[in-house]
Amino acid sequence: MPEMLEVEAYRLAAEPVVGRTISTVSAPDQWYVKGGSTPSQLVEMLPGKRVIAVRRVGKLMLVDTDGPVIGLRYGMTGRILVDGGGPIDRLEYSSDRNDPAWDRFALSFEGGGSLVLRDPRRLGGIELDPDEDRLGPDAGVVGLAAFRKVLSGSSLALKARLLDQNKIAGLGNLLVDDMLYRAAVAPDRPVNTLAADEVARLHKAMRRTLAILGRRGGSHTGDLQPVRMRGGHCPKDGTELRRGDVGGRTTYWCPLHQT
DNA sequence: CCGGATGTTCACCT
DNA sequence: GAGGTGAACATCCG
């Protein structure tokens, strides 16, 4: 997905629909509607409801209404279109084509305008009243003390724990690799071997990574991104990067300075 | 043609 | 329960 930086861009783009009233709903894909709801329930329940706010926790976007909360997940290739336009035209690993056949969910509003979720690979989803409590604290706001709790009581690999949305919400594959690169910590370190100063370094690196990549324009603008390939070299010291599977995801890191 | 890509969930192991 | 693995979803790119 879009990781949290992209979802935040989507959230911002959706702000203009706050205050509008939903007129019609399109949910053509049953598989895309999660959490035990059915497309027909959405189509019945949402028209007439007014949008109160658009929020985000981690990678989950939440549209508050005076009825149910609408939860939007973007998977890896989901984009938002608001009143016909989108904040991100080109998405890494998605399609440059722009086929309305990939519209998995759409709201139309009284007086005009729309909010559309366009998702080629269909990895995202819609859920009414999603359980927000299952998510860990948002990576953008979590403080050092809470972050220490995230990284405690487990022998799991560091990267696997950082990707666990129930422990800390918002980080994806690219953001984690870049923050670990900056923090100079190896992704396969068991969480319970991290020293207190390393955890502090990770927290600082996470915040810097989010700020810098946010400014640059997204999760794909990390320092590791240009060399994220077989045979890539560390921008810091020129060492050939290691490539491996950590936490079930392809991972690149520098074997020299990330320890 | 094949493998792999910003993700999540579920089944099935140990 | 914790943790690992592989499959599933569908499309594009090298």
Percent of chain A residues past pLDDT 90, beyond the cut: 92
Q: Which tokens go with A214?
A: 């946010």
Asked whether residue A66 falls in the same domain as residue A31, the answer is yes
Listing DSSP states for A22-58 in one string gives EEEEE---GGGEETT--HHHHHHHSTT-BEEEEEEET
HSE-up of A6 (CA within 13 Å, CB side)?
Answer: 27
The CATH number that applies at residue A125 is 3.20.190.10
Q: Which domain holds residue A52?
A: 4-133
User: What nucleotides of chain C have any atom within 7 angstroms of a protein Cβ?
Assistant: 2-7, 9-13
pTM of the predicted protein model: 0.95
Mean pLDDT over A25-50 rounds to: 95
Among A98, A133, A168, where does a domain finish? A133
Query: What pLDDT, on a 0 to 100 scale, did the predictor assign at position A85?
Result: 80
In a domain, residue A258? The reply is: no
A174 touches strand B (CB under 7 A): yes
Which tens digit of pLDDT belongs to each residue from A39-52? 999 999 999 999 99
> How many angstroms separate the most distant Cα atoms in chain A?
59
Which nucleotide lies at the shortest CA–C1' distance from A164? B8
The protein residue nearest C6 (Cα–C1') is A248
CB–CB of A200/A147 below 8 Å? no
Whether the pLDDT of residue A36 is over 80: the answer is yes
Which tens digit of pLDDT belongs to each residue from A149-176? 999 999 999 999 999 999 999 999 999 9
Asked whether residue A72 falls in the same domain as residue A17, the answer is yes
How many domains are there within chain A? 2
Asked whether residue A15 falls in the same domain as residue A51, the answer is yes
In a domain, residue A67? The reply is: yes
User: What nucleotides of chain B have any atom within 7 angstroms of a protein Cβ?
Assistant: 4-9
A74 touches strand C (CB under 7 A): no
Mean pLDDT over A11-38 rounds to: 95
Using 50, 70 and 90 to split pLDDT, how confident is the model at A90? low
Asked whether residue A143 falls in the same domain as residue A119, the answer is no
